[in-house]
Chains A and B, each alone.
Chain A
Amino acid sequence: MKTFGVMPLFLVLVLLTACDSYPRDIEGTRDRVVATKQLRVGYGQMPADQRALAERFVARVASSSGAQSNPALPTGSDEALFALLENGDLDLVMAEVASDSPWLSDMAITEPMRRRVAGKRELGLSAVVRNGENRWIMVLEKQLRDMQAGP
Chain B
Amino acid sequence: MTERRGHPDAIEQDIRAARRLEWWNIGWSTSIIVAMGLAMGSSQAMKTAWVEDMLGLVPPIVLLIATRYEERAADERFHYGYDRVNSLGFLVAAVALGGVGLFLLRDSVLALWNQEHVTVGSIRLLGQDVWLGWFMLAAQAYATVPPLIIGRKELPLAKRLRDKLLHTDALMNKANWQTGVAGFLGVVGLGFGLWWADPVAAIVISASIVWDAWNSLKVATAELIDGIPRELGSSAISTEAQALGDGLRARFPDAKKILLRETGRYIRAEVLGVAAPADFSVASLDLADCEDWRIDSVSFRPDTTGPKHRARRPDV
What residues of B have a CB within 8 angstroms of the CB of A130 in the complex?
A: 117
- A11-45 vs B, CB cutoff 8 Å, 1 = contact: the mask equals 00100110000111111100000000000000000
> Which residues of chain A from 120 to 151 have a CB within 8 Å of any chain B CB?
130-134, 137-138, 141-142, 145
Asked if B124 and A23 make an inter-chain contact with CB atoms under 8 angstroms apart, the answer reads no
Q: Say yes or no: A141-B122 contact (C-beta < 8 A), given A6-B141, A23-B191, A26-B195.
A: yes
Asked if B121 and A131 make an inter-chain contact with CB atoms under 8 angstroms apart, the answer reads no
Q: How far is the CA of A131 from the CA of B117 in the complex (A)?
A: 5
Asked if A3 and B144 make an inter-chain contact with CB atoms under 8 angstroms apart, the answer reads yes
Asked if A137 and B191 make an inter-chain contact with CB atoms under 8 angstroms apart, the answer reads no
What residues of A have a CB within 8 angstroms of the CB of B194 in the complex?
A: 26
Q: How far is the CA of A150 from the CA of B193 in the complex (A)?
A: 32
Q: How far is the CA of A134 from the CA of B197 in the complex (A)?
A: 14
Q: Say yes or no: A28-B193 contact (C-beta < 8 A), given A23-B131, A138-B122.
A: yes
Rounded to whole Å, the gap between the CB of B193 and the closest CB of chain A is 4
Q: How far is the CA of A3 from the CA of B193 in the complex (A)?
A: 24
Within 8 Å of chain B (Cβ to Cβ): is A84?
Answer: no
- B138-165 vs A, CB cutoff 8 Å, 1 = contact: the mask equals 0001001100100000000000000000
Within 8 Å of chain A (Cβ to Cβ): is B192?
Answer: yes
Using CB atoms, name the residue of chain B closest to A108.
Answer: B119
Within 8 Å of chain A (Cβ to Cβ): is B266?
Answer: no
Asked if A9 and B188 make an inter-chain contact with CB atoms under 8 angstroms apart, the answer reads yes
What residues of A have a CB within 8 angstroms of the CB of B192 in the complex?
A: 22-24
Rounded to whole Å, the gap between the CB of A20 and the closest CB of chain B is 11
Rounded to whole Å, the gap between the CB of B279 and the closest CB of chain A is 54
What residues of B have a CB within 8 angstroms of the CB of A137 in the complex?
A: 119, 121-122
Q: How far is the CA of A1 from the CA of B133 in the complex (A)?
A: 25
Within 8 Å of chain B (Cβ to Cβ): is A10?
Answer: yes
Q: Say yes or no: A131-B181 contact (C-beta < 8 A), given A13-B191, A23-B190, A137-B122.
A: no
Using CB atoms, name the residue of chain A closest to B193.
Answer: A24
Count how many chain A residues have C-beta atoms less than 8 Å from C-beta atoms of the other chain: 28
Asked if B137 and A108 make an inter-chain contact with CB atoms under 8 angstroms apart, the answer reads no
Using CB atoms, name the residue of chain B closest to A3.
Answer: B144
Count how many chain B residues have C-beta atoms less than 8 Å from C-beta atoms of the other chain: 27
Asked if A13 and B137 make an inter-chain contact with CB atoms under 8 angstroms apart, the answer reads yes
- B188-230 vs A, CB cutoff 8 Å, 1 = contact: the mask equals 1011111100000000000000000000000000000000000
Asked if A131 and B124 make an inter-chain contact with CB atoms under 8 angstroms apart, the answer reads no
What residues of B have a CB within 8 angstroms of the CB of A22 in the complex?
A: 131, 191-192
What residues of B have a CB within 8 angstroms of the CB of A26 in the complex?
A: 117, 193-195
What residues of A have a CB within 8 angstroms of the CB of B102 in the complex?
A: none
What residues of A have a CB within 8 angstroms of the CB of B148 in the complex?
A: 1, 3
What residues of A have a CB within 8 angstroms of the CB of B141 in the complex?
A: 6, 10
| Residue with the greatest number of chain A CB neighbours at <10 A, chosen from B122, B129, B181 | B122
Asked if A134 and B129 make an inter-chain contact with CB atoms under 8 angstroms apart, the answer reads no
What residues of A have a CB within 8 angstroms of the CB of B137 in the complex?
A: 10, 13
Q: Say yes or no: A138-B119 contact (C-beta < 8 A), given A3-B145, A3-B181, A22-B192.
A: no
- Residue of A131, A133, A134, A145 near B116 (CB, 8 A) is A131
What residues of B have a CB within 8 angstroms of the CB of A6 in the complex?
A: 141, 144, 181, 184
Using CB atoms, name the residue of chain B closest to A110.
Answer: B121
What residues of B have a CB within 8 angstroms of the CB of A110 in the complex?
A: 121
What residues of A have a CB within 8 angstroms of the CB of B118 in the complex?
A: 131-132
Q: How far is the CA of A50 from the CA of B129 in the complex (A)?
A: 26
Asked if A134 and B145 make an inter-chain contact with CB atoms under 8 angstroms apart, the answer reads no
Asked if A134 and B144 make an inter-chain contact with CB atoms under 8 angstroms apart, the answer reads no
What residues of B have a CB within 8 angstroms of the CB of A3 in the complex?
A: 144-145, 148, 177, 181
The 5 residue pairs across chains A and B that have the minimum distance between CB atoms: A132-B117, A24-B193, A23-B191, A108-B119, A131-B117
Q: Which residues of B contact A (CB under 8 A)?
A: 116-122, 124, 129, 131, 133-134, 137, 141, 144-145, 148, 177, 181, 184, 188, 190-195
Q: List 29 A-B contacts (CB under 8 A).
A: A1-B148, A2-B181, A3-B144, A3-B177, A6-B181, A10-B137, A16-B191, A17-B134, A22-B131, A23-B120, A23-B131, A23-B191, A23-B192, A23-B193, A26-B193, A26-B194, A28-B193, A131-B116, A131-B119, A132-B117, A132-B190, A132-B195, A133-B119, A134-B120, A134-B190, A137-B119, A137-B121, A142-B129, A145-B124
Q: A23-B193, A142-B129 are in contact. List 8 more A-B contacts (CB 8 A).
A: A2-B181, A3-B144, A3-B177, A6-B144, A22-B192, A23-B133, A23-B191, A108-B119
